Amino acid sequence: MKTGAVGERFSVRSIITSREGSVVLVSIVLTVVFTSLNTNFLTTRNFVTIGELITGNAVVAAGQVMLMVMGDIDLSVGAVYALTPYLVYQTSISGMPMEVGIPLSVLAAVAVGLTNGIVTTAFRVPALITTLGMDFAVTATNLIISHDYQQNMPYQQPYTWIFGGGSFYGIEVAFIWTALAFVILAVMLARMRHGLWSISTGSNPLGAKEVGVNVNLTRIRNFVLCSTIAGLWGLFVANRPFIFGGIGAANPLQGGDTLVLESIAAAAIGGTSLFGGSGTVIGAFFGSLLISVLQDGLFIVGANAYSYQTLLGIAIILSMVLNIQSRKRLRSGG
């Protein structure tokens, strides 16, 4: 009995002290604090709102994890997030049906990711610089083709329903896609060969090459994956009507720098190392949960709009400090 008790205490303690467990604990504490300040926080409608916020950025954060475990990053996800809805709109007014416009827009996202990956691996340009340049280029393209105007998304069933504009037995379609994406990405990173290659590449590129991992191809695949995810989820948000927390329109500045920072912050807060070699998709989800609780809670209590950005910046810095300290402990064997 004693051994079992010790094992149980160790198990509970290990969960609480783990990075994911600590993020969940902080989210619970924030929930208690915001509820004490405004009881409207602890309502079903508000929890749905938090879910809508998570749907908008959590899967993009999971895509960032696939890159960050290799020591890479993608700063162009916000621009791609806005690009795909506008391409669907442009093809629609040109007379093309959505079954043509949607694949073309997704192929554009794939092309952006492929370009990022090739430039980074073939020309040895740091991912930070490559994707920053791509962010400027795609954002400018969005503004040029849109003339800086927001446009309503075309309505064509069943494509509008499938891509975020409907619900299934009362559950928003975007929620279902988000849950499915997290399961696939979590299994891919933790159980499949590509995920293991990605982590190996981030922790020891030379060692990964020696055991037969095609490091450059693995990095390119993850750039394509991250960019494609951003493009798809841009379509989901653009197709979601306002009542579902979406905008129901293509906006040239949808996503933008805010999405980039939130996706990186969610991954880092969830325990993904910015130096590569470690990270989990479930951690990105919990990181996104914390960010969404913080954003919604500050709005509910009537805090200054810039308070959220201030706290988000502090969270990124603290995550970086924790990452560095964790690396030091691992190196020292402590």
CATH number reported for the structural domain that contains residue 267 in this entry = 1.10.3470
Distance between CA atoms of 103 and 105, rounded to whole angstroms? 5
Encode 257-276: b = buried (16+ Cβ within 10 Å), e = exposed: eebbbbbbbbbbbbbbbbbb
**Among positive and negative, which fits the CA dihedral 283, 286, 292, 297?**
negative
In a domain, 4, yes or no: no
Distance between CA atoms of 306 and 156, rounded to whole angstroms? 38
In a domain, 93, yes or no: yes
Domain containing 142: what range? 21-329
Can you give the pLDDT at residue 156?
84
In a domain, 9, yes or no: no
> Which stretches of the chain drop beneath a pLDDT of 70?
1-18, 241-247, 326-327, 330-331, 333-334
Can you give the pLDDT at residue 75?
98
**Among positive and negative, which fits the CA dihedral 93, 94, 100, 101?**
negative
Can you give the pLDDT at residue 6?
44
Can you give the pLDDT at residue 1?
44
Contact 63, 75 (CB under 8 A): no
User: What is the torsion angle, in degrees rounded to the nearest 10, for the CA atoms of residue 271, residue 57, residue 263 and residue 185?
Assistant: 50
Beta-strand pair 249-250/151-152: antiparallel
Which among 218, 241, 266 has a CA at the least distance from the CA of 153? 241
In a domain, 11, yes or no: no
In a domain, 223, yes or no: yes
Can you give the pLDDT at residue 259?
94
Q: Which amino acid is at 277?
A: G
Q: How many domains does the chain have?
A: 1
Distance between CA atoms of 216 and 218, rounded to whole angstroms? 5
In a domain, 140, yes or no: yes
Task: Indicate the average pLDDT of the chain.
Answer: 88
In a domain, 8, yes or no: no
The backbone torsions φ and ψ at residue 125, rounded to the nearest 5 degrees and listed phi first, read -85, 130
In a domain, 15, yes or no: no
